[in-house]
């Protein structure tokens, strides 16, 4: 039996790829906690875990008529962002793949009433939601796969894909790490105002209401109350979470959905990025595995 050995909601903001000097200039003379948080996560958690596959649930990869999972044997090259080429320019990446695992994930889609296509095309673009986190967290020869967030997807669609992913992992025999790469609330300041809001402080989040919505969910994450996060998705969608929060919802569904009860450990402060809410939160595998809370009663 395969299993998820750990999972996390991970911020991938372009700021983390800027030189330290520039980061300090943007943040009132100090670094963003997101940067050291990634170093700590690798040092304190990932270095001690044994895993074969990393699946990045990529909130920047928008597909339209289906979900897509990368199935190339390897993805390698240099990445320059079309969105922010000044900040992310010719970043090298070399990510082994796992075609058989990708095919297995895709094979579970129909059973769960959704559509997942494995794509091995070497010309398939890569997104910085994958490149940035791999830059900090890649250990060695583990496989790194990316899964898209369908831009037409609703919460139920993300749940269906997460269930398919979880079933495939269990059948695969692989030890898998899930990285939900993306933000919480995701409303940017307008261009004429955003340069006044580049520092990390919560006061720079787009509105107090956006910050409050994020912070409520961070409290639920810390308490392991993922059921409440999922129950209140219609409310949270009013605050424009990145990719409709599909990256998180897919991850949650893969490890138990409303029975997912692992408490979160923060590996950063809750920080602003030109209006958007960013944080690193890690969920350790429970000692007894991802068991259902109500298993004994079922």
DSSP per-residue letters across 252-285:
HHHTTGGG--PPEEESS--EEETTEEE--EEEEP
Q: What is the pLDDT of residue 295?
A: 36
Q: What is the pLDDT of residue 291?
A: 66
pLDDT, average across residues 121-125: 97
pLDDT band at 292 (very low <50, low <70, confident <90, very high): low
Cβ contacts of residue 191 below 8 Å, gap of 6+? none
**Domains plus CATH for the chain?**
3-287 (3.40.830.10)
Q: Residue 298: is its pLDDT beyond 80?
A: no
pLDDT in tens, 237-272: 999 999 999 999 999 999 999 999 999 999 999 999
For residue 186, the 8-state DSSP code is: -
Q: What is the pLDDT of residue 288?
A: 87
Lowest mean pLDDT among 48-52, 168-172, 248-252, 292-296: 292-296
Buried residues in 90-114 as b, exposed as e (16+ CB within 10 A): ebebebbbbbebbebbbebbeebeb
pLDDT, average across residues 66-87: 97
- What is the rounded average pLDDT for all residues in the chain? 96
> What is Dmax (Cα atoms) for the chain?
57
Count of residues in the chain: 298
Q: What is the pLDDT of residue 293?
A: 44
Phi/psi region, residue 256 (left: phi>0; alpha: psi -120 to 50; beta: rest), is left
pLDDT in tens, 190-206: 999 999 999 999 999 99
* Residue 196 burial (C-beta neighbours within 10 Å; 0-12, 13-18, 19+): exposed
- Rounded to two decimals, what is the model's pTM? 0.97
Do β-strands 281-284 and 264-266 pair in parallel, antiparallel, or remain unpaired?
antiparallel
pLDDT, average across residues 206-212: 98
pLDDT band at 294 (very low <50, low <70, confident <90, very high): very low
């Amino acid at each position: 039996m395969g299993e998820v050995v750990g999972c996390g909601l991970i911020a991938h903001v372009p700021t983390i790829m800027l030189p330290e000097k520039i980061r300090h200039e943007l943040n009132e003379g100090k670094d963003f906690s997101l940067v050291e948080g990634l170093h700590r996560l690798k040092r304190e958690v990932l270095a001690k875990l044994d895993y074969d596959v990393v699946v990045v649930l990529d909130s920047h990869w928008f597909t339209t008529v289906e979900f897509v999972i990368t199935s190339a044997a390897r993805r390698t090259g240099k990445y320059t962002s079309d969105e922010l080429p000044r900040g992310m320019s010719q970043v090298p990446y070399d990510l082994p793949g796992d075609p058989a695992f990708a095919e297995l994930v895709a094979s579970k889609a129909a059973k769960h009433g959704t559509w997942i296509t494995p794509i091995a095309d070497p010309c398939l673009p890569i997104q910085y939601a994958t490149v940035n986190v791999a830059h900090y967290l890649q250990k060695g020869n583990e496989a790194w796969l990316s899964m898209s967030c369908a831009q037409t997807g609703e919460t139920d669609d993300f749940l269906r894909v997460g269930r398919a992913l979880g079933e495939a992992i269990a059948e695969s025999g692989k030890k898998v790490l899930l990285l939900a790469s993306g933000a919480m609330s995701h409303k940017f300041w307008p261009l004429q105002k955003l340069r006044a809001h580049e520092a990390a402080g919560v006061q720079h989040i787009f509105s107090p209401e956006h910050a409050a919505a994020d912070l409520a969910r961070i409290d639920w994450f810390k308490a392991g109350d993922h059921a409440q996060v999922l129950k209140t998705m219609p409310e949270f969608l009013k605050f424009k979470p990145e990719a409709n929060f599909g990256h998180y919802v897919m991850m949650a569904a893969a490890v138990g959905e409303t029975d997912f009860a692992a408490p979160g450990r923060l590996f950063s402060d809750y920080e602003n990025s030109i209006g958007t809410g960013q944080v690193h939160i890690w969920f350790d595998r429970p000692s007894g595995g991802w068991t259902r809370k109500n298993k004994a009663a079922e």
